[in-house]
């Protein structure tokens, strides 16, 4: 099957990339032509590259065929419901092509997410090696700053795509839909990430940028050309968030199977929908703030230029109005996975389903009123600090509800500890560390000391690992048999966990420790007099252990996919409808296996209380 020959130009990805290269060149030519017509010299690196990069992204999308069906529709031509899969192509080819199947798109998101995770993790390993001892050994300063900025933003892209992977793959399956509400938009929302990510990483080769991922002006207004590529890449990835979120919301509201009321949805769907509400309404602001700096650089508009009456604080307000809610975009789906998996492995109902569902919405809502806690020392209007302290503290309430409800779910549960459950429990403990180290930062007085130190670095890495990384791995292990039809290797899975879990604690606690003692964020070198060498060496070693664990995960995934045991259709004895379908799941999900919801989703331990009733028992459910 894998021996079939494929014309690589029939693959959307390859066509898109070729188109992007040509489009970029054409775009650069067009800008130079315009400059000549305006009487300027043809070459000026910044406008020429920006123009080329912009056109390149659009031609990438044209090249992939993302616009094809919409163009046909505009001219009144018929389009097919689903793209026909070319029978002459091997099975893997569909993952490199435009597909409207939400499961294929989910996998595309997931694989791209892991690739970006590895890229951003590699950046981190490089600068962590530099930080292992005081002094400069490996990197020059501009490269160090570029790497920390790219580590941040590429990780954010990876997380956003990982969230997209989970939402796209799972939401239709969990609510009994045959696909997403807007399959073409879904494909478009995935593919725009690819040229966007290329642009972000290309900043490394175009002079880099010295501002970190936050890109604060005036520094970003005078950074090298790489800054512009970074801004534009993020801008396009933001489009993906907005469009994907729209799709999730409509799908959740309109595509649920018969009998599935809002409070009968598997709990992950609540998390995904709350996440989508944030992405849909806040992402515009980071795009806007970055665009304003781009225009300041390109056209001399003085938004944030004090010499032209601009205000540097304004940028921070616009930036954090997205970038704070964004952290809830990163963690809410992960917390949803924790709530989804705990009952299955504790063999008990989810404690306080409605409270957990509402707490997701609550976090999403409160998340909009707390952005300025990133600015307590920024010099914004001083009276704003106290109200933002109170509003930030409120985040603890819905988050606390989740923790207590998880404990309620575990209490008296018959827990077993397969790899997905290990990652779920690890996530609870690490997110606890991340969550509890939040209030000292939310309190203005203590934040005066903590702000911009490694304490903050440790705090948010704990929230990201507990809120996304660990749950994401839990989800991959949990649904791996459903996605591939094969079982992952349990032994390698446990190695993955038992390396990553303690290593993360060492890394995060080490970061908090040096932060409190005076280690600033984002410095390439530190004062040897502070005696941080040993702590930093430990943090670096822990980072490499985490990387090793991720490598084991990748080996496990590839090996199991090729040579893994055939998985039973419901290895976890789950009540969720997708586990009653054959593995791998057929293209149109439930079209051939209609069902309706007749009970509660998490009635584990209650006899004769099924959640779903299929019209005819799917063959696979018999085993």
Touching another protein, residues 213-272 (CB under 8 A): 214, 216, 218-219, 222, 224
C-alpha dihedral sign at 156, 123, 294, 194: negative
Rounded to a whole number of angstroms, the minimum distance from the CB of residue 377 to another protein is 5
Candidates 176, 413, 434, 564: give the one binding another protein (CB under 8 A): 413
Rounded to whole angstroms, the Cα distance separating 121 from 553 reads 14
Candidates 412, 594, 598, 610: give the one binding another protein (CB under 8 A): 412
Candidates 35, 68, 82, 513: give the one binding another protein (CB under 8 A): 513
Q: How many Cβ atoms sit within 10 Å of the Cβ of residue 142? A: 16
| Residue 451 is a binding residue for another protein (CB under 8 A) | yes
Candidates 432, 492, 541, 555: give the one binding another protein (CB under 8 A): 432
Candidates 118, 516, 541, 551: give the one binding another protein (CB under 8 A): 516
User: Per the structure block, which two tokens stand in for 617?
Assistant: 């028992």
| Residue 471 is a binding residue for another protein (CB under 8 A) | no
| Residue 205 is a binding residue for another protein (CB under 8 A) | no
Judged by DSSP in three states, 595 sits in: strand
Which of 91/379 has CB closer to another protein? 379
Which of 43/417 has CB closer to another protein? 417
Q: Are 581 and 618 in contact (CB under 8 A)?
A: yes
Candidates 111, 410, 551, 561: give the one binding another protein (CB under 8 A): 410
Residues of this chain, 113-172, that bind another protein according to CB under 8 A: 141-142, 145
Candidates 72, 254, 258, 347: give the one binding another protein (CB under 8 A): 347
Q: Are 51 and 26 in contact (CB under 8 A)?
A: no
| Residue 525 is a binding residue for another protein (CB under 8 A) | yes
Q: Which stretch binds another protein (CB under 8 A): 62-70, 152-160, 407-415, 469-477?
A: 407-415
Rounded to whole angstroms, the Cα distance separating 250 from 463 reads 29
Which of 492/523 has CB closer to another protein? 523
| Residue 403 is a binding residue for another protein (CB under 8 A) | yes
Candidates 212, 233, 334, 471: give the one binding another protein (CB under 8 A): 212
Rounded to a whole number of angstroms, the minimum distance from the CB of residue 58 to another protein is 30
Residues of this chain, 273-302, that bind another protein according to CB under 8 A: none
> At a CB cut-off of 8 Å and minimum separation 6, what does 243 contact?
185, 188, 189, 192
Rounded to whole angstroms, the Cα distance separating 265 from 174 reads 7
Candidates 445, 554, 598, 617: give the one binding another protein (CB under 8 A): 445
Residues of this chain, 577-606, that bind another protein according to CB under 8 A: 600, 602-606
| Residue 311 is a binding residue for another protein (CB under 8 A) | yes
Judged by DSSP in three states, 443 sits in: coil
Is the backbone of residue 487 left (phi > 0), alpha (psi -120 to 50) or beta? beta
Rounded to a whole number of angstroms, the minimum distance from the CB of residue 588 to another protein is 33
Q: Which stretch binds another protein (CB under 8 A): 27-35, 263-271, 425-433, 491-499?
A: 425-433
Rounded to whole angstroms, the Cα distance separating 265 from 45 reads 53
Candidates 378, 494, 561, 586: give the one binding another protein (CB under 8 A): 378
Rounded to a whole number of angstroms, the minimum distance from the CB of residue 282 to another protein is 24
Question: Measuring CA to CA, which residue among 464, 380, 394 is closest to residue 155?
Answer: 464
Candidates 428, 475, 549, 597: give the one binding another protein (CB under 8 A): 428
First to last CA, the chain: 28
Four-CA torsion 555, 205, 543, 454, nearest 10 degrees: -150
Which of 68/513 has CB closer to another protein? 513
Q: What is the DSSP string of 203-255?
A: GGGTT--SS-TT--TTTTTSS-THHHHHHHHHHHHHHHHHHHHHHHHHHHHH-
Residues 451-456: contacts with CB under 8 Å, at least 24 apart: 451/376, 451/377, 452/377, 452/520, 452/521, 453/515, 453/516, 453/518, 453/519, 453/520, 453/521, 454/511, 454/512, 454/514, 454/515, 454/519, 454/520, 454/521, 455/511, 455/512, 455/515, 455/516, 456/515, 456/521
Candidates 394, 492, 541, 561: give the one binding another protein (CB under 8 A): 394
| Residue 348 is a binding residue for another protein (CB under 8 A) | yes
| Residue 322 is a binding residue for another protein (CB under 8 A) | no
Burial of residue 92 (CB within 10 Å: 0-12, 13-18, 19+) is exposed
Angle between the N-to-C axes of helices 183-191 and 45-64, in degrees from 0 to 180, rounded to the nearest 10: 140
| Residue 520 is a binding residue for another protein (CB under 8 A) | yes
Candidates 89, 281, 291, 446: give the one binding another protein (CB under 8 A): 446
Burial of residue 82 (CB within 10 Å: 0-12, 13-18, 19+) is middle
| Residue 443 is a binding residue for another protein (CB under 8 A) | yes
Rounded to a whole number of angstroms, the minimum distance from the CB of residue 147 to another protein is 12
Which of 15/385 has CB closer to another protein? 385
């Amino acid at each position: 099957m894998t021996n079939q020959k494929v014309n690589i130009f029939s693959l959307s990805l390859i066509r898109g990339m070729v188109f992007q290269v040509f489009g970029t060149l054409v775009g650069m030519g067009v800008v130079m032509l315009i400059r000549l017509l305006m009487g300027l010299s043809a070459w000026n690196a910044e406008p020429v590259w920006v123009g080329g990069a912009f056109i390149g992204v659009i031609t990438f999308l044209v090249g992939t065929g993302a616009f094809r069906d919409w163009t046909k529709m505009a001219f009144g031509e018929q389009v097919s419901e689903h793209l026909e899969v070319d029978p002459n192509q091997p099975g893997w080819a569909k993952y490199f092509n435009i597909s409207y199947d939400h499961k294929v798109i989910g996998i595309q998101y997931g694989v791209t997410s892991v690739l970006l995770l590895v890229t951003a993790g590699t950046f981190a390993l490089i600068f962590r090696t530099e930080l292992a001892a005081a002094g400069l050994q490996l990197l020059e300063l501009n490269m160090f700053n570029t790497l920390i900025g790219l580590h941040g933003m590429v990780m954010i892209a990876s997380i956003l795509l990982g969230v997209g992977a989970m939402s796209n793959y799972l939401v239709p399956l969990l609510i009994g839909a045959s696909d997403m509400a807007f399959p073409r938009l879904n494909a478009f929302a995935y593919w725009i990430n690819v040229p966007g990510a290329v642009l972000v990483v290309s900043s490394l080769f175009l002079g880099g940028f010295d501002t970190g991922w936050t890109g604060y002006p005036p520094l970003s207004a005078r950074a090298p050309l790489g800054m512009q590529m970074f801004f534009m890449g993020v801008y396009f990835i933001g489009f993906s968030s907005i469009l994907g979120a729209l799709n999730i919301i409509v799908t959740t509201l309109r595509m649920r199977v018969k009998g599935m009321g809002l409070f009968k949805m598997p709990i992950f769907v609540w998390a995904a929908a709350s996440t989508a509400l944030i992405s849909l309404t806040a992402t515009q602001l980071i795009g806007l703030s970055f665009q304003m700096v781009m225009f300041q650089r390109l056209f001399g508009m003085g938004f944030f230029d004090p010499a032209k009456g601009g205000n540097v604080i304004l940028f921070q307000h616009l930036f954090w109005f997205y970038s704070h809610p964004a952290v809830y975009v990163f963690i809410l789906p992960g917390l949803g996975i924790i709530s989804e998996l705990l009952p299955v492995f504790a063999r008990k109902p989810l404690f306080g389903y409605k409270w957990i569902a509402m707490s997701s919405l609550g976090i999403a809502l409160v998340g909009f009123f707390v952005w300025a806690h990133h600015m307590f020392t920024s010099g914004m209007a001083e009276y704003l600090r106290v109200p933002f302290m109170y509003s930030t503290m409120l985040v603890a309430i819905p988050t606390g509800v989740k923790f207590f409800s998880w404990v309620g779910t575990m209490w008296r549960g018959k827990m077993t500890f397969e790899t997905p459950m290990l990652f779920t429990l690890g996530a609870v403990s690490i997110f606890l560390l991340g969550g509890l180290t939040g209030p000292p930062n939310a309190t203005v007085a203590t934040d005066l000391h903590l702000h911009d130190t490694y304490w903050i670095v440790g705090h948010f890495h704990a929230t990201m690992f507990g809120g996304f990384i660990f749950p994401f791995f839990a989800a991959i292990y949990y649904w791996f048999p459903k996605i591939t039809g094969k079982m992952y290797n349990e032994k390698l899975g446990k190695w993955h966990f038992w390396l990553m879990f303690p290593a993360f604690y060492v890394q995060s606690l080490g970061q908090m420790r040096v932060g409190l003692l005076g280690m600033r964020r984002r410095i390439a070198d530190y004062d040897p007099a502070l005696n941080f060498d040993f702590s930093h060496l430990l943090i670096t070693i822990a980072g490499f252990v985490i990387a090793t664990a991720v490598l084991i995960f990748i080996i496990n995934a590839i090996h199991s996919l090729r040579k893994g045991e055939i998985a039973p259709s419901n290895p976890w004895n789950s009540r969720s409808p997708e586990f009653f379908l054959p593995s791998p799941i057929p293209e149109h999900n439930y079209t051939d296996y209609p069902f309706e919801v007749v009970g509660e989703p998490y009635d584990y331990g209650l006899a004769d209380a099924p959640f779903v009733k299929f019209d005819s028992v799917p063959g696979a459910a018999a085993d």
